[in-house]
């Protein structure tokens, strides 16, 4: 695979995300994400091994229309989609 092609894929363990289409492959099973959960996943994936604050996610994904419950729903959806993985990909922390 060329570097140009690699830029459109993000991988974490058995999870593989095709950035342009929003397709997530969990253990080689394709799952399509809605727009907002996909944007949340991309924001998290672009900050590997770093904490991303709730405020940062709200501002990045929803901007001025930010609502806490929308972020909670998106995280819930992502966790449901990624439940096939043995390790925690999205971890909530206080602070």
- For 78, phi then psi, to 5°, come to -60, -45
Nearest Cα neighbor of 71 from 95, 37, 45 is: 37
pLDDT value of residue 91: 61
- Mean pLDDT per block of 10 residues along the chain (95 residues) reads 54 79 82 87 83 92 90 89 60 63
Task: State how far the Cα of 90 lies from the Cα of 78, in Å rounded to an integer.
Answer: 8
pLDDT value of residue 10: 80
Half-sphere exposure of 73 (CA within 13 A, CB side): 11
pLDDT value of residue 7: 55
Q: Across the beta sheet with 23-26, what order do the strands follow?
A: 9-12, 15-18, 23-26, 29-32
């Amino acid at each position: 695979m060329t570097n140009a092609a690699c830029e459109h894929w993000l991988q974490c363990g058995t999870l593989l995300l095709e950035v342009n289409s929003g397709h997530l492959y969990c253990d080689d099973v394709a799952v399509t994400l809605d727009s907002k959960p996909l944007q949340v996943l991309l924001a998290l994936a672009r900050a590997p091994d770093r904490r991303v604050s709730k405020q940062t996610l709200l501002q990045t994904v929803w901007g001025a229309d930010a609502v806490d419950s929308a972020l909670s729903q998106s995280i819930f959806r992502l966790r449901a989609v990624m439940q096939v993985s043995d390790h925690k990909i999205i971890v909530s922390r206080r602070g």
